[in-house]
Amino acid sequence: MPAASTAGRQRNGRRASASRTSERRFCVGGMTMAVAVSSRVETERDIKETLGLVPHFFSRIPDNLLEHEWALFKTLELGETLIPNKYKELIGCAVHSETKCRYCTLFHQEAAKLFGATDEEIQEAVHYAKFTVGWSVYINGMREDYDQFSDELRQISNYLKAKG
């Protein structure tokens, strides 16, 4: 391909894909596999149709990973899975309060609200994270015997089940 046309197809330091689906081949255990791959243009079109725009963080994902990352994002963040979206996002609020990722904390709080969570539910999820992480710090710091802990937990569980 001539240099001028190659330069025209550059995007964020990567070569832009053609706008049609292609086939990617790879070898696994001596077998050649072929997988249909959408182009960056098609994937970004789907992102824009779904979200209203293509967030900048998606534009930095390499062409060969974008379709896969978008499919995971769309399925786990927006799709119906075993855990209802509101609860997944409350889990995200709790987890990222501990990881201290301001991007993820903001994202999951806003997503939780979109899926119907109240400010009070978000606050409780974050407080629960603080509570459970605190116990983890204490139990690990005190070097509690794991087998004894496991046995006592089983006894408590059996007692509460029997109690009804």
Encoded tokens for 47:
């992102």
pLDDT at site 38: 76
Residues 111 and 138 in one domain: yes
2-28 mean pLDDT = 48
Residue 144 lies in a domain: yes
pLDDT at site 52: 97
User: DSSP label at 75?
Assistant: I
Residues 59 and 118 in one domain: no
Which of 34, 63, 79 is where one domain is finished? 79
Residue 127 lies in a domain: yes
Encoded tokens for 23:
């086939």
Residues 128 and 67 in one domain: no
pLDDT in tens, 54-103: 999 999 999 999 999 999 999 999 999 999 999 999 999 999 999 999 99
Residues 100 and 32 in one domain: no
Percent over 90 (pLDDT), the chain: 77
pLDDT in tens, 133-149: 999 999 999 999 999 99
Which of 58, 79, 100 is where one domain is finished? 79
Of 22, 44, 24, 21, residue with least CA distance to 32: 24
Is residue 29's pLDDT more than 70? no
Residue 3 lies in a domain: no
Residues 71 and 85 in one domain: no
> How many domains, in total, are found in the chain?
2
Residue 96 lies in a domain: yes
Residue with tokens 């070569």: 15
Is residue 32's pLDDT more than 90? no
* Domain harbouring 111, CATH code: 1.20.1290
Of 2, 86, 9, residue with least CA distance to 78: 86
pLDDT at site 61: 96
The rounded mean pLDDT for the chain is 86
Residues 56 and 99 in one domain: no
Reported in sequence order, the residue ranges of the chain that DSSP labels E, i.e. its strands, are 10-11, 14-15, 22-28, 31-37
pTM of the model: 0.72
Contact 91, 85 (CB under 8 A): no
Residue 115: burial class (beta carbons within 10 Å; 0-12, 13-18, 19+): middle
Residues 31 and 97 in one domain: no
Residue 2 lies in a domain: no
Q: How far, in Å, CA of 118 to CA of 93, rounded? A: 12
Residue 152 lies in a domain: yes
8-30 mean pLDDT = 51
Is residue 109's pLDDT more than 50? yes
Residue type, 108: H
Could you list the residue range(s) of the whole structural domain that residue 34 is in? 12-79
Helices (H) and strands (E) in the chain, counts: 8, 4
Residues 160 and 85 in one domain: yes
